[in-house]
Structure 1
Amino acid sequence: MPLKAHEEDKRDLLKGVQHNVKTTTAEVPAIPTSPDLGQRRRGSVGPGAQFGIYWRSPVTMISIFVIGLGSALALHVWYSCLNGKNVGDSNQQQTALRIGTTLAFITQISLVGSVQFAHVQTLWRALKRSVISIYGVDAGFAASSTPLSFTNLEMLSKLRLASSLALIAWCIPIASLITPATLNVDSILLYSGQMMSVPALQISQAGAYKDFAYYVPQGNMLQKYLGPRTILTRLAVATSTTGEILRLTAPATNATYVQTFFGPYVQCLDANQSTIDAIDAANVRRKAAVDPSVKESSIEYFAFVPALSNVNDTSLNGPIQVANLSNVNGALYASNQLWLTFPRYSVNQINFNVSQVANPTYLTCGLHNASYHVNFTWTNGVQSLNILGLDVLDATPYPTDPSFSASDEDNMAYSAFMWAISSQLVGTMGFYQDISPNDTNNQIIANRTYSEIATNIDQTSLLGTSDLNSYFIKNHFLSNNNASQPFSSQRLRDMALARNRTLDILIPELSSNITLSLISYPLLSHPELTNVTTTTTTNIYTYQPKKVFIAYGIAIFFALVANVLGIWAYISNGVSHDNSFSSIVCTTRDIHLSKLNAHERLGALPLERKVGRTRMVFDVGNMAEGLRGGGRWGFGIA
């Protein structure tokens, strides 16, 4: 509004008010007053006017700030006491959280209340030094209760400090949203060690051979070794089929312990030249024994147990025979070795083709005594066995006419173990063709070509070894000539189970897995006191003090700044103010304001725009006469 027009409106309002006073004085009901009040001039400040800072107001502001500071420290101490402790049941957890929430709430309302005290003092100070519209005054008083007040640009420009403190009061509660998240509940494992009875392998213990090997006594204090007991064979087959160690009895749901013991182990090495010649010779004899109506096209796998201990063969240069493990009498003079031959593709070869030639490979696998150092672990009932160390010791001799000595008895138990493994690996895999009986020229009938697996290795996880790729590539091409897919989908799964490793790695691994699987059967193991570390899952409180320090540190800092500004406002004002009804009444009795709002009896919203735009000033003077200096404090029209 232009200044000239505003002055004219003010003079009109003054005239109207004076006229209204003259014409309506008789209608104002008499109000009982004290004798002093009746003798006091309306436009003057009486001798009883209160100047000076009322002590309770600044003390209250500082006190509730200290309460907020103390509550924040108490919250930190409380959460620190809970840190690392067990959560307990639901009631205990709820109690802990309620205390923390209560302290956070007290901190919030105390800091906000302290800032609001400072906001009120700085607001009154700014109003005494500003000419501002009623809209701006309304926004200033409502800034601490409604965020819409911050849309008033006049308040933001003329009441900057008060507006800033009101904004701080609004932002402080954000800290209380952060602090509850600083106390979390985490699950941890508690470790405790104790001596517990756990199963230990007894294959190397005195007298244990009776549970592993079949035997019959003979004359002259000798025994006759007959092979493995059925339980040993069954456990070996189960381990070989799954490719995993059988499930042991866990001492606890979460437990770990370490054992060191002796047990059998099969080690595979490349065959020397003399052994290669012996394998080839045995293969020739085997091929010669094939049915004459069948022609062997190629042999892709040949494994057998050599009869190295046949004492009845007096010829030093006699051929090494193939031991028949399916016949007890035929295996009496076998050995604790397994000889194998097969074509192996290059390790780095990626693309396979039926026309490619693999390199002949020869292995000798022998039985040894070994020292196992094993870590047994169960996590939530899931078993995990890890061989920490394995020392391969002497080779185990085959029991030929064993005596009742401890060494011969141990040899029988170990040899039974080797027999159980070898019986799953011996045999052949090859390709054959039928020959017509009427064909004197032995011409091959192509449509009768077929493959044959004559070994139990197809029942084990070792079937996926890369050493058998040659057989499966040729077998796949018998019915499928697609060179881009040399393996069937089933073959790919078998290869994944064996992780595409070679037999010189898989056979020793299988032997150690079977050794550890024997512990799962109570008759093949005995209880042994062992230091077992058990773990128990428990819920504990975890406190993150850094977030509390940052959140409440910022809130307390701004609240402290607000208190300093509030104290400065107290000193500058010279009196204490608040925004109570009595304070508003005492400062708005100017006759111009009464005329301005004469028709707004209820003070209902919305405020008339013309009234809201009227500019006001908080000053000392005789407001009824528009004079300044020497009057009472209050709002008047500027």
Structure 2
Amino acid sequence: METSPLIPTKAHEEHKRDLLEGDQQNEKTTPPKVPATPTSPNLGQRSRSSVAPGGQFGIYWRSPISMISLFLIGLGSALALHGWYSSLNGKHVGDSNQQQRALWVGTTLAFITQISLAGSIIFAYVQTLWRALKRSVISIYAVDAGFAASSTLLSFTNLEMLSKLRLASSLALIAWCIPISSLIAPATLNVDSILQYSGQMMNVPALQISQAGAYQEFAYYVPQRSMLQNYLGPRTILTRLALATSATGEILRLTPPATNATYVQTFFGPYVQCVDANQSIVGAIDAVNVRRKAAIDPSVKELSNDYFAFVPALSNLNDTSLHAPIQVANLSDVNGALYASNQLWLTIPGSNVSQLNLNFSQIANPTYLTCELHNASYHVNFTWTNGAQFLDVLDIDVFDATPYPTDPSFSAVDEDNMAYSAFMWTLSSQLVGTIGFYQEVSRNDTNIQIIANRTYSEVATNLEQTSLLGTSNLNSHFIKNHFLSSNNASQPFSPARIQDMALARNRTLDVLIPELSSNITLSLISHPLLSVPELTNVTTTSPANIYVYQPKRVFIAYGIAIFFALVANVLGIWAYFSNGVSHDNSFWSIVTTTRDIHLSKLNEHERLGALPRQRNVGKTKIVFEVGDMAEGGRGGGRWGFGIA
């Protein structure tokens, strides 16, 4: 293998020592002289005709093309970033690989935009810097700062550079600020959680109480002879569902078609409507109440009656006139309910609640209500959100009253009424009865005197098992009852009563009874025996993560960056034509423009260019000019930097 000849180490060391000795000798004999003031006679008045032979004019095409190309690349990548983020806007995020790909593409385009715009501005900055140097008398310190402004922020601490190289300094500062836009752009693509809606036909439960033949699931009956039935009352499933609804005061939970779903149904079902009783019915209620009191055990005296509800036996074919004594249907006995009705009559005498005493005889504005079963059209919105049920009754259209079966044996045409009548039977069973105050009577007292300490209240109705017990119609009763037991006027209600009132939301029975009937009707849908599948348009929702793009921020960030880059390119093109040549900050450019003999003498003791430079050297004023071929020309026919 051949090897290149090497300079002997000894000869190399001797050569280096000779150079150092020569430098020291020159330092002793010819110290450098640094002129303090500029002496160029042609400063600011140079022309191409004064260039020394061999001066190369002409703009090298690659430099301006590179500047413009970088600007166009930056503009294109910014538009590509906007297009990429726009394509992701509203789309599902997907798995982790898709998320990383989305972020990687956006970050890459933001980086390309940043470096391209900054690079384009650097080209313009360099041309503008050289143009300014050709027209300025400036210190070496400021020239150093100008050339380093694109690579170090410390250059901007040089005030002379900022004052004499204003345009170039501004472009360098803009190039430093361009990366800020790349920090803003990626933050414009966010991930949001939304509910995704989709509609599809699904089978949902629909109440079948109004359908032909449905009475078999709602009512007990006994077939008798051909086409005749014997109605016996409600089935146990109907009773259980009604009791559960009445106790909680809420609609029972239905089976949702999906965890998040909503649909609207319109169907027929029973509805109980309560109105103020007319005068005939008021008289009939009072008459029944008188007969009821007369049947009380003689050892007990009723002081007041605060609630009395019963089902009138209006379907007795032998006694249908209100002028005849109205009988009370016994719903606990099948035979006693044969001549019942689909009505509930009740009265709530109101005591004077402003006086907390035991004067039970004070009665104020008694209320008489007639509640009757009707067929109604329900328009209901069923909604489930994360499994939680929300039923909103949009509208209830009430139609004609539903008649009670008129005979123990009836034809098939009455089958539709049988299921509805079973519903009313179940509801009425929870409301009939009495609430009042009583006192025991001494059996040994011939004057029938009342013993006060034997006074008590009695709730003889299943109403106490329902949410309706908290009705405001009964507040007077429970005020007197609490005062009777505690004699504390400052606390008119017991804690238990306060809870009952909260459950009923302090409403009256004419509102609570219809609401309970509609709640029971809707609760029947929860049981598959009482409902049938029905194909319905269901809107389902599911949580989803999607990309959300905010283009306004991108337009602001990159719009500002592109605007300043465009201005820089315009200034750069102007500088190209003004300079007449293309410049850069390469080593060769520095060497070829700094070969002035005076500069050579100035730096002959700092050939290594090491820091720090001598203070007197740094303050030396230099100027970039075209040397004059005439005698006395300082440039010696050269174009470049020289001492001013």
Quickly name the TM-score band, shorter chain normalised: 0.7 to 0.9
1:126 equivalent in structure 2: 132
Deviation at 1:122, TM superposition (A): 1.7
Aligned partner (choices 435, 460, 472) of residue 478 of structure 2: 472
1:503 equivalent in structure 2: 509
Deviation at 1:513, TM superposition (A): 1.5
The separation in 2 between residues aligned to 1:255 and 1:148, in whole angstroms, is 64
Deviation at 1:395, TM superposition (A): 0.9
Deviation at 1:164, TM superposition (A): 1.8
Note if contact 1:473-1:486 (Cα within 8 Å) is conserved in structure 2: yes
Aligned partner (choices 261, 277, 301) of residue 267 of structure 2: 261
Counterpart residue identity of residue 285, structure 1: R
2:434 equivalent in structure 1: 428
Question: In the alignment, does 2:563 pair up with 1:557?
Answer: yes
Counterpart residue identity of residue 87, structure 2: C
Aligned partner (choices 283, 296, 299) of residue 302 of structure 2: 296
Note if contact 2:52-2:627 (Cα within 8 Å) is conserved in structure 1: no
The separation in 2 between residues aligned to 1:134 and 1:95, in whole angstroms, is 50
Deviation at 1:613, TM superposition (A): 4.9
**Secondary structure, counterpart of 1:122 in structure 2:** helix
Note if contact 2:194-2:544 (Cα within 8 Å) is conserved in structure 1: yes
1:36 equivalent in structure 2: none
Question: In the alignment, does 2:462 pair up with 1:456?
Answer: yes
Deviation at 1:608, TM superposition (A): 6.2
After TM superposition, the structure 1 stretch with the greater mean CA deviation from structure 2, 479-488 or 297-306, is 479-488
Note if contact 1:236-1:514 (Cα within 8 Å) is conserved in structure 2: yes
2:146 equivalent in structure 1: 140
Deviation at 1:267, TM superposition (A): 0.6
1:277 equivalent in structure 2: 283
How many residues get paired?
598
Question: In the alignment, does 2:72 pair up with 1:66?
Answer: yes
Percent identity, aligned pairs only, is 83
1:360 equivalent in structure 2: 366
Question: In the alignment, does 2:57 pair up with 1:57?
Answer: no
1:39 equivalent in structure 2: none
Structure-2 change in CA distance of 1:319 and 1:628 (3 Å):
farther
Note if contact 1:353-1:483 (Cα within 8 Å) is conserved in structure 2: no
The TM-score, its normalising length taken from structure 1, stands at 0.83
Structure-2 change in CA distance of 1:496 and 1:21 (3 Å):
same
The separation in 2 between residues aligned to 1:340 and 1:217, in whole angstroms, is 34
Counterpart residue identity of residue 238, structure 1: A
Deviation at 1:262, TM superposition (A): 1.8
1:250 equivalent in structure 2: 256
Aligned partner (choices 101, 106, 109) of residue 100 of structure 1: 106
What is the CA deviation profile of residues 381-423 of structure 1, one whole-angstrom value per residue up to 9, with x for unaligned ones? Answer: 3333333332211111112324453332222211110111111
Counterpart residue identity of residue 501, structure 2: M
The separation in 1 between residues aligned to 2:320 and 2:27, in whole angstroms, is 150
After TM superposition, the structure 1 stretch with the greater mean CA deviation from structure 2, 148-157 or 613-622, is 613-622
Aligned partner (choices 414, 419, 441) of residue 413 of structure 1: 419
Question: In the alignment, does 2:171 pair up with 1:165?
Answer: yes
**Secondary structure, counterpart of 1:297 in structure 2:** strand
Counterpart residue identity of residue 149, structure 2: A
The TM-score, its normalising length taken from structure 2, stands at 0.82
**Secondary structure, counterpart of 2:554 in structure 1:** helix
Deviation at 1:336, TM superposition (A): 0.9
The separation in 1 between residues aligned to 2:364 and 2:612, in whole angstroms, is 97
Mapping for residues 225-624 of structure 1, pairs under 5 Å: 225-311=231-317, 313=319, 317-343=323-349, 354=356, 359-403=365-409, 405-438=411-444, 442-479=448-485, 485-589=491-595, 612-621=618-627
Question: In the alignment, does 2:161 pair up with 1:155?
Answer: yes
Unaligned stretches of 5+ residues in structure 2? 1-22, 32-49
Note if contact 1:221-1:403 (Cα within 8 Å) is conserved in structure 2: no
**Secondary structure, counterpart of 2:268 in structure 1:** strand
The separation in 2 between residues aligned to 1:79 and 1:257, in whole angstroms, is 36
Counterpart residue identity of residue 165, structure 1: L
The separation in 2 between residues aligned to 1:116 and 1:132, in whole angstroms, is 21
After TM superposition, the structure 1 stretch with the greater mean CA deviation from structure 2, 75-84 or 530-539, is 530-539
2:202 equivalent in structure 1: 196
Aligned CA-pair RMSD: 3.5
Note if contact 1:436-1:443 (Cα within 8 Å) is conserved in structure 2: yes
Unaligned stretches of 5+ residues in structure 1? 1-16, 26-43
The separation in 2 between residues aligned to 1:248 and 1:151, in whole angstroms, is 76
The separation in 2 between residues aligned to 1:550 and 1:368, in whole angstroms, is 66
Note if contact 1:343-1:470 (Cα within 8 Å) is conserved in structure 2: no
2:82 equivalent in structure 1: 76
Structure-2 change in CA distance of 1:596 and 1:208 (3 Å):
same
2:215 equivalent in structure 1: 209
The separation in 2 between residues aligned to 1:488 and 1:130, in whole angstroms, is 98
The separation in 2 between residues aligned to 1:321 and 1:626, in whole angstroms, is 142
Counterpart residue identity of residue 556, structure 1: I
Deviation at 1:270, TM superposition (A): 1.0
The separation in 1 between residues aligned to 2:312 and 2:454, in whole angstroms, is 33
Structure-2 change in CA distance of 1:585 and 1:279 (3 Å):
farther
Note if contact 1:223-1:401 (Cα within 8 Å) is conserved in structure 2: no
The separation in 1 between residues aligned to 2:604 and 2:497, in whole angstroms, is 99
Counterpart residue identity of residue 247, structure 1: R
After TM superposition, the structure 1 stretch with the greater mean CA deviation from structure 2, 281-290 or 51-60, is 281-290
The separation in 2 between residues aligned to 1:573 and 1:443, in whole angstroms, is 129
What is the CA deviation profile of residues 403-450 of structure 1, one whole-angstrom value per residue up to 9, with x for unaligned ones? Answer: 453332222211110111111222223333444555555555544444
What is the CA deviation profile of residues 56-79 of structure 1, one whole-angstrom value per residue up to 9, with x for unaligned ones? Answer: 111111111011111112222223
**Secondary structure, counterpart of 2:215 in structure 1:** helix
Deviation at 1:137, TM superposition (A): 3.3
Aligned partner (choices 223, 233, 238) of residue 229 of structure 2: 223
Deviation at 1:371, TM superposition (A): 1.9
The separation in 2 between residues aligned to 1:430 and 1:382, in whole angstroms, is 40
After TM superposition, the structure 1 stretch with the greater mean CA deviation from structure 2, 525-534 or 201-210, is 525-534
The separation in 2 between residues aligned to 1:113 and 1:357, in whole angstroms, is 96
The separation in 2 between residues aligned to 1:626 and 1:402, in whole angstroms, is 142
The separation in 2 between residues aligned to 1:266 and 1:303, in whole angstroms, is 15
